[in-house]
Chains A and B, each alone.
Chain A
């Protein structure tokens, strides 16, 4: 089995003309291969629909499923001349990264960019592990048509790359109104042209409470990074968001309820594997759905169903608190130019994060994809050849602990740029965010920081 790619494009990179014709044939309004991204190699997750490609979203629930149409992001990238090199091994529905190889195609230069579904912070954690840049755009900026995830109100197509320039050019192409996704707000796309950043005129806010839960070493690293920013002339401003710890709870309740409902379609009636031996359709549901999901996703869906059916009031409270957190964050971002959040201690690429409580050793990294079967995966006996692909082990508590520093942006929908640590080690990996639609300015800030990284402090 290929250690990184779940599916490689059967056409070679020279087959661009053909890809462009395909893009044109889908008729989404983009000119065939306008050349703006010609030569750019793109890796996707198997939850991004590419016409004719196996698109199982990393789940047994969709084993063998082949897409009938391109996702809008794919169609637009093709239209700009980018080459789709393949789809990578990913966690079930991309959620929580467990068992996938997200970030590896970019780290090992098999691809220039990777499209990553960010539901809880996956793009930023994967970027940290791979030591590359990652941008989660503002929610509603990129069409979700053809993306298969679990949490519609929080998930967003993010971009990983070694180069911020490639991220910028990719965003120029994939953002903006889409006739196939009416949920995009009617607003102007951000300005992605490069702009000069004068550190002396920039204030970066830091939320005290966001550092509360950090392990001691990460806290020190973050403070050292902030000090590096100060030395470069940025003004830092301490800020307070007393309810910061509620982000995790809100994400968990709202996210799991949405996931429980979103995964309702995997019922084996029209597509997906149907478990044998059912005497009636109620049994068909029970048996097929029991075999469809790995234990991690299953526990998430069951939790969501619990809140929906048994604790609906808690779900309503979570929705109200979410609205309040969005308002609070809007207030904070309006007072400064940017906000800095701790980066994620990704460790070296492919090595499981130290923060993954409850994750069996090796379970969070690429072992599964490398051919070692996931421990305790459900792998129904009839699906032996593909069983290792599904059902990586992780615990809800472990994943929520690992993504505690990233999930706030999925709750609020604001854009976040992850920058890896500076080569000299003067600055650790860091997340930078701003108000909604600050995507272009974040990239400019990132470029300015990387530039000074290169010059050395």
Chain B
């Protein structure tokens, strides 16, 4: 029997708010442990939650960006469980009345077909504290860092529309692009600003039955999500084929062994309404104000990039994946540099260089104006590509205009024909064999000779010009 998987995702996204969700503590979980705490996020007796307006706005923008419908009435509930990472014995979450319902994203599946992946609902909740397990001598101790307690999160719960690991990975990529473009989160699985859990079950292909699902957690890259789902599908398939029952439980992905392993269940009860956070009543007017704040959505932007800048769909998609890159691209392209040159140099040279230096594109010394100046010199053949790469490196270390760097470092191409003729004469004299080969019809020999002239020029000659001059000279001299 052939099986297919039914996969739903539960994705937690950390909102990039200045403060925590219910108090004014800075939302910086990575600081020195327990630095960002107050009586409210430690939930000392008598503390009252004060919902952050920014958290609500960022969550609402995220919902709208995913095409979800903000609910006129939503409310927080108490998700009760006892664990040392939860300072008040319950987590504030929207279990009964979520912030939004519906919405979804389009992805392209492995066969190239467009597929709509629906979202069931999106709700807000607070993050819990972080547990650190250490040894004090021979005694194991568990320490609690409350910096993360109260960090604003949204949880996106999809419909079980996904069928393959590939689709799950494509969905997460599309989600990441969309959320980054509304500006609500960094949305990174690697650093925990996005966390994805997968619910997986299998059924005979072609049926509509809903089988017992298994939840898999602890994947911290999109690749791991794909690997964990693939492993779980084959594990469940093998179990069913061996006549074993699939049990409802939670498993953890082990990235080293590349397997999922069962984890001990947390005791959880039904959620009760919280009497302290007021019910959220969103007016039509407020929702429209939020909608007006939505930036251009990626699919719209990709279409505009293809039309305006003459890019292919793939090229446009590669630019809009990161809104910062897209913004940078537009500024440089509008400075009159050929869009495809901008795209190529931005994606293959500048972005990796910025990343390597652990900088942000927006704050880098290589401003769009300087980058445009560099690319203009390249376009006018004032420098060649290898010189341009070296100038780019220097631009990170100084604020000088690229033209000045080129002048000081002597990167200008040798365009003086007399100087080039002298170099060509010298190389022809030194390489009679290659000259003979070329004259004998071996085109490859010309490339070798161009390389020799380039080397003699110290890399400063324009290879296109040399090729032309060499071909002319050798052709003239042909008997």
Which residue numbers of A lie inside 8 Å of B, CB to CB? 47, 49, 55, 57, 62, 65, 67-69, 71, 144-148, 152-153, 179-183, 185, 257-258, 260-261, 263-265, 267, 269-271, 281, 285, 308-309, 312, 315, 319
Nearest opposing residue in chain B for A70, CB measure: B46
Collect the chain A residues with CB atoms within 8 Å of residue B144's CB. 269-270
Per the CB 8 Å criterion, the residue count for chain B at the interface is 30
Interface: B45 (CB within 8 A): yes
Give 8 A-B contacts (CB < 8 Å), ordered by A residue: A49-B45, A67-B46, A71-B46, A183-B277, A258-B272, A265-B89, A271-B44, A309-B270
Q: Which residues of B, 5-48, contact A by the 8 Å Cβ criterion?
A: 39, 42-48
**Are B272 and A257 in contact, with the CB atoms below 8 A?**
yes
Question: Bound state CA distance, A65 and B42, in angstroms?
Answer: 14
Collect the chain A residues with CB atoms within 8 Å of residue B269's CB. 308-309
Collect the chain A residues with CB atoms within 8 Å of residue B43's CB. 265
Collect the chain B residues with CB atoms within 8 Å of residue A261's CB. 78, 80, 89-90, 272
**Are B39 and A152 in contact, with the CB atoms below 8 A?**
no
**Are B273 and A319 in contact, with the CB atoms below 8 A?**
yes
Assuming A152-B275, A308-B269, is B42 touching A267 (CB within 8 A)?
Answer: no
Interface: B82 (CB within 8 A): yes
Interface: B447 (CB within 8 A): no
Rounded to whole Å, the gap between the CB of B130 and the closest CB of chain A is 13
Residue from the list B46, B87, B275 in contact with A148, Cβ < 8 A: B46
Residue from the list B44, B47, B270, B277 in contact with A182, Cβ < 8 A: B277
Question: Bound state CA distance, A49 and B46, in angstroms?
Answer: 7
Extra pairs beyond A62-B45, A261-B80, A312-B270 (9, CB < 8 Å): A67-B46, A68-B39, A71-B46, A152-B275, A261-B90, A265-B88, A265-B89, A267-B89, A281-B142
Question: Bound state CA distance, A145 and B44, in angstroms?
Answer: 11
Of A185, A267, A269, the most chain B CB neighbours within 10 A belong to A269
Question: Bound state CA distance, A261 and B90, in angstroms?
Answer: 7
Collect the chain B residues with CB atoms within 8 Å of residue A55's CB. 45-46
Rounded to whole Å, the gap between the CB of A351 and the closest CB of chain B is 32
Question: Bound state CA distance, A67 and B47, in angstroms?
Answer: 11
Interface: B278 (CB within 8 A): yes
Collect the chain B residues with CB atoms within 8 Å of residue A257's CB. 272
Assuming A147-B46, A152-B275, is B89 touching A308 (CB within 8 A)?
Answer: no
Collect the chain A residues with CB atoms within 8 Å of residue B272's CB. 257-258, 261, 308, 315
Question: Bound state CA distance, A185 and B281, in angstroms?
Answer: 12
Rounded to whole Å, the gap between the CB of B68 and the closest CB of chain A is 25
**Are B276 and A264 in contact, with the CB atoms below 8 A?**
no
Rounded to whole Å, the gap between the CB of A25 and the closest CB of chain B is 16
Question: Bound state CA distance, A144 and B276, in angstroms?
Answer: 9
Interface: B49 (CB within 8 A): yes
Collect the chain A residues with CB atoms within 8 Å of residue B78's CB. 261
Assuming A183-B276, A315-B272, A319-B273, is B80 touching A264 (CB within 8 A)?
Answer: yes
Collect the chain B residues with CB atoms within 8 Å of residue A308's CB. 80, 269-270, 272
Interface: B50 (CB within 8 A): yes
**Are A264 and B88 in contact, with the CB atoms below 8 A?**
yes
Residue from the list A49, A146, A179, A270 in contact with B87, Cβ < 8 A: A270
Residue from the list A183, A258, A265, A269 in contact with B45, Cβ < 8 A: A265
Collect the chain A residues with CB atoms within 8 Å of residue B46's CB. 49, 55, 67, 71, 145-148
Give the 9 A-B residue pairs with the shortest CB-CB distance, closest first.
A264-B89, A153-B275, A265-B88, A152-B275, A146-B46, A148-B45, A309-B269, A49-B46, A312-B270
Nearest opposing residue in chain A for B273, CB measure: A319
Rounded to whole Å, the gap between the CB of A132 and the closest CB of chain B is 26
Question: Bound state CA distance, A312 and B269, in angstroms?
Answer: 9
**Are B84 and A269 in contact, with the CB atoms below 8 A?**
yes
Rounded to whole Å, the gap between the CB of A143 and the closest CB of chain B is 8
Assuming A267-B82, A281-B142, A312-B270, is B275 touching A182 (CB within 8 A)?
Answer: no
**Are B50 and A270 in contact, with the CB atoms below 8 A?**
no
Rounded to whole Å, the gap between the CB of A284 and the closest CB of chain B is 9
Rounded to whole Å, the gap between the CB of A252 and the closest CB of chain B is 15
Interface: B51 (CB within 8 A): yes
Rounded to whole Å, the gap between the CB of A317 and the closest CB of chain B is 13
Collect the chain B residues with CB atoms within 8 Å of residue A148's CB. 45-46
Rounded to whole Å, the gap between the CB of A176 and the closest CB of chain B is 15
Of B46, B80, B277, the most chain A CB neighbours within 10 A belong to B46
Collect the chain A residues with CB atoms within 8 Å of residue B82's CB. 264, 267, 285
Nearest opposing residue in chain B for A146, CB measure: B46
**Are B48 and A181 in contact, with the CB atoms below 8 A?**
yes
Question: Bound state CA distance, A153 and B88, in angstroms?
Answer: 17
**Are B88 and A182 in contact, with the CB atoms below 8 A?**
no
**Are B39 and A183 in contact, with the CB atoms below 8 A?**
no
**Are B42 and A183 in contact, with the CB atoms below 8 A?**
no
Collect the chain A residues with CB atoms within 8 Å of residue B278's CB. 182-183, 185
Collect the chain B residues with CB atoms within 8 Å of residue A146's CB. 46
Residue from the list B47, B50, B87, B276 in contact with A269, Cβ < 8 A: B87
Question: Bound state CA distance, A148 and B48, in angstroms?
Answer: 10
> Chain B 256-274, CB within 8 Å of chain A: the 1/0 string?
0000000000000110110
Of A67, A144, A267, the most chain B CB neighbours within 10 A belong to A267
Collect the chain A residues with CB atoms within 8 Å of residue B48's CB. 144-145, 180-183
Collect the chain B residues with CB atoms within 8 Å of residue A67's CB. 46
Assuming A265-B88, A308-B272, is B42 touching A270 (CB within 8 A)?
Answer: yes
Collect the chain A residues with CB atoms within 8 Å of residue B84's CB. 267, 269, 281
Collect the chain B residues with CB atoms within 8 Å of residue A49's CB. 45-46
Rounded to whole Å, the gap between the CB of A98 and the closest CB of chain B is 20
Question: Bound state CA distance, A309 and B269, in angstroms?
Answer: 6
Nearest opposing residue in chain A for B43, CB measure: A265
Collect the chain A residues with CB atoms within 8 Å of residue B270's CB. 308-309, 312
